[in-house]
A and B are shown apart, each in its own frame.
Chain A
Amino acid sequence: MRKTTRSAFAAACAALAVTAAACGTTSENTGQAQPQDPRQSCGGPDGKYTIGMSQANLAEPYRVRMDADIRKAAEQVPQFEDVQFSDAGKDNAKQVSDVESFLTKQVDLLMISPNEAAPLTDVVRKAYNSGTPVVLLDRKVNGDAYTTYIGVDNVDIGRQAGEYFKDVLFPDGGKILEIRGLSGSTPAGERHDGFMQGIEGSKIEIIGQGDGDWERSLGQEKMDALLKAHPDAQAVYSHNDPMAEGAYLAAEAAGRAQQLKFVGIDGLPIEAGGIRSVEQGRLQATFLNPTGGEEAVEAAKKILVDCRPTEKKQTLPTELITKENAGEVYARLNQG
């Protein structure tokens, strides 16, 4: 038996040796972006185009809406015959395969909202270097091997949220709780940093924090504990609306929902989204985080149909949503 175990080990080591010895490899892991000639991929207004959209996951309502926005906007462009969607289910490896399938299918343009930056960088670079224009949405990759990036400035959203607390909710200072997004995801860090900039110079104090991982249920769970530890809390700043809703549920169960103010981010214009929560009075305010779906289709049209260059980076505007404008914003975002 000892002998057999050893031979298994040897076999596996041999596997590694093969790897180490493999020479003449091409580099997907390393290598530079080759700047694309925008005219190369452009077929003009007479062409018919296929677009592949690789979504990181469809577990978040925000991403379902992003796909829907793209689908709807693409219907307005007669040249965009075929828009195909894939769902990576939060799995980086699956998303790499999804993109490879799109390349095999020879899509004319790739849209992608990467699950994580580093693992998707290589395959996005491969697409870009092979001449396929790449539109990045919401989340980035490393380096500059893409055609255009469309997304919000999360530091700016955080700062505006901080200023709203400082100027509107607690001009004389207050004690608040922060429910954060998944630790390590860039928007969570940026929405926190921006918020700290926004409340600078005020007497607002963050007395408790919890990681809600962007999820409603975890937001509720963390708030349960935070409420017990900090009975003097006056408000909640949550990195997204679902966690703010969860926090509200926890406060409601503790009989304290009416004494606390809740502020979220995302302002998704769907029935279960943050704008409705503001309208119905559970959230005090939310900040619009547009999905960029419409803008992505516009960029694709520029590249493929109009033969015009796009900006490398397009920052989407955010907007404060309170009870006063919630109805109007909801209607505006759902028109057309």
Chain B
Amino acid sequence: MSEQTHEREASPSAPEPPRGPSRREVAETLFRFQSFFGLVAVFLAAIVLSPRGDDGQILFLTSDNLFNIVRAVSEIGIIAVGLTFVILIGGIDLSVGSVLGLAAVGSAVLLVNDDFGVLLAALLVLLIGLIFGVLQGAAVALLGVQAFIVTLAGLNIARGLARMWSGGETVQISYGDGEGQAPMLFSLLGERTFGGVVPIPALIFAVVAVAAILFLRYSAYSRHLYAIGGNEKAARLSGVPVNRVKIVAFALSGFCAALAGIVHAGQLNAGSPNDGLAYELDGIAAVVVGGTSLAGGRGSVVGTIAGALLLGILNNILSLNSVDTDMQLLIKGLVIVAAAALQRLRPTA
């Protein structure tokens, strides 16, 4: 993962006077990489706190365990990357968990009941996620309804569609060439490559993460995102196509959620209308821990990825130490609050 963020502030880019880094700039840099430092700290803490195996090895550091973490994080990670775009413009997308469920059910039904090929089914499901996002974005941008409300409605609509599409039941995926069986290709999502070590979902997460980082770094779109998040009115006045940018942000979020849904169905060999319940909250948590401001205009995809990994490692080390679920929830809550509180201390507004 690249260490660099490519974050841009909303303020018009005035040329900076040439001088050495001030204390303020050092502090700014520290805060910018907050989630990365947090990730390193949690990683080190996990090593210290890890239980030991029979032969004394640190269980947390076993490659099996580390890849399990990335596998477990991959779905929330993909969702969180998409969410980052929406949150950067000061919006929110509460529908992603339900869209994941819809996509998981859709994948299962198309492959098993409708005998679609893997690529066609995947493209169709991704298109559904994309269109769902576009519609939500359009409602936000063109109708001027608050994103919270639009996507709250979207949460219910996608969940309803998932239930309707599956008849309210889990659709099991079995593999083979026969009728009612999914092509073996789809079962790859549940498998591991490179000598049976690296989970495929982790690879997909990595690809999505890199694509999002490059996209934000090299496209004009990124400047527009930060500009709208910083000051929508000013952005509009300076010629940013605000509505289009907003719609694209929601479209990307829907797309990522659908992709996560495909991964979900492939990993679990089933699509259940209850899949992804409350995943939107885990996704938002990853974005917030990653240092992106819910007010918009500040943050980065790199931060989000660090945030998702941080929460994944936290989950893992708490489980390895058999901390019970109640306490796990409590600790996770405190970490989210701490991350948000640290953001408030950041020097520039």
Contact A100 B68 (CB under 8 A): yes
Complex interface bits, A309-320 against B, C-beta within 8 A gives 1, otherwise 0: 000000000000
Q: Which residues between 149 and 196 of chain B lie within 8 Å of chain A, taking CB atoms?
A: 167-170, 172-173, 175, 184-185, 187-196
Q: Which residues of A contact B168 (CB under 8 A)?
A: 183-184
Complex interface bits, A1-38 against B, C-beta within 8 A gives 1, otherwise 0: 10011011101101110111011111111100000000
Chain B, interface residues (CB within 8 Å), range: 35 or more
Q: Is A327 in contact with chain B by the CB < 8 A criterion?
A: no
Contact B191 A15 (CB under 8 A): no
Q: Known contacts A15-B204, A118-B268: does B191 contact A25 (CB below 8 Å)?
A: yes
Closest beta carbon of chain B to A63's beta carbon, Å: 12
Q: Which residues of A contact B214 (CB under 8 A)?
A: 11
Closest to B176 in A: A30
Of B5-13, B271-279, B290-298, B331-339, the one touching chain A: B271-279
Of B22-30, B37-45, B303-311, B316-324, the one touching chain A: B316-324
Contact B269 A121 (CB under 8 A): yes
Contact B269 A119 (CB under 8 A): yes
Closest beta carbon of chain A to B268's beta carbon, Å: 4
25 interchain pairs (CB within 8 A)? A5-B251, A9-B130, A11-B208, A12-B126, A12-B211, A15-B204, A15-B208, A18-B203, A19-B189, A19-B200, A24-B193, A25-B191, A26-B196, A28-B191, A29-B190, A30-B175, A85-B322, A87-B324, A93-B72, A93-B268, A101-B316, A104-B62, A119-B268, A119-B270, A119-B272
Q: Which residues of B contact A119 (CB under 8 A)?
A: 268-270, 272
Contact B272 A92 (CB under 8 A): yes
Contact of A93 among B59, B200, B259, B267 (CB under 8 A): B267
Of B138-146, B215-223, B340-348, the one touching chain A: B215-223
Q: Known contacts A14-B211, A16-B119, A58-B325: does B270 contact A116 (CB below 8 Å)?
A: yes
Contact A24 B195 (CB under 8 A): yes
Contact of A105 among B126, B255, B320 (CB under 8 A): B320
Q: Which residues of B contact A104 (CB under 8 A)?
A: 59, 62, 64-65, 68, 320
A interface residue numbers (CB < 8 A to B): 1, 4-5, 7-9, 11-12, 14-16, 18-20, 22-30, 58, 84-87, 89-93, 96-98, 100-101, 103-106, 116-119, 121-122, 142, 183-184
For the complex of A and B, the 3 pairs showing the least CB-CB separation, nearest first, are A11-B211, A184-B169, A26-B196
Q: Which residues of B contact A121 (CB under 8 A)?
A: 269
Q: Which residues between 92 and 135 of chain B lie within 8 Å of chain A, taking CB atoms?
A: 118-119, 122, 126, 130
Closest beta carbon of chain A to B260's beta carbon, Å: 10
Tell me, in angstroms, the Cα distance from A29 to B174 when the chains sit together.
9
Contact B259 A11 (CB under 8 A): no
Closest beta carbon of chain B to A93's beta carbon, Å: 7
Q: Known contacts A5-B248, A26-B191: does B322 contact A93 (CB below 8 Å)?
A: no
Q: Is B32 in contact with chain A by the CB < 8 A criterion?
A: no
Contact B269 A90 (CB under 8 A): no
Contact B325 A8 (CB under 8 A): no
Contact A105 B59 (CB under 8 A): yes
Contact of A25 among B59, B200, B272, B274 (CB under 8 A): B200
Contact B191 A29 (CB under 8 A): yes
9 extra interface residue pairs, beta carbon distance < 8 Å, beyond A12-B126, A19-B189, A105-B59: A4-B248, A9-B255, A18-B203, A20-B119, A25-B193, A105-B51, A118-B172, A142-B172, A183-B169
Q: Which residues of A contact B234 (CB under 8 A)?
A: none
Q: Known contacts A1-B221, A12-B126, A25-B196: does B252 contact A30 (CB below 8 Å)?
A: no
Q: Is B46 in contact with chain A by the CB < 8 A criterion?
A: no
Closest beta carbon of chain A to B163's beta carbon, Å: 10
Q: Which residues between 49 and 82 of chain B lie within 8 Å of chain A, taking CB atoms?
A: 51, 53-54, 59, 62, 64-65, 68, 72, 75
Contact B325 A89 (CB under 8 A): yes
Contact A20 B188 (CB under 8 A): yes
Tell me, in angstroms, the Cα distance from A93 to B267 when the chains sit together.
9
Contact of A118 among B53, B170, B193, B211 (CB under 8 A): B170
Contact A96 B268 (CB under 8 A): yes
Closest to B64 in A: A104
Tell me, in angstroms, the Cα distance from A119 to B256 when the chains sit together.
22
Q: Which residues of B contact A30 (CB under 8 A)?
A: 175, 184, 187
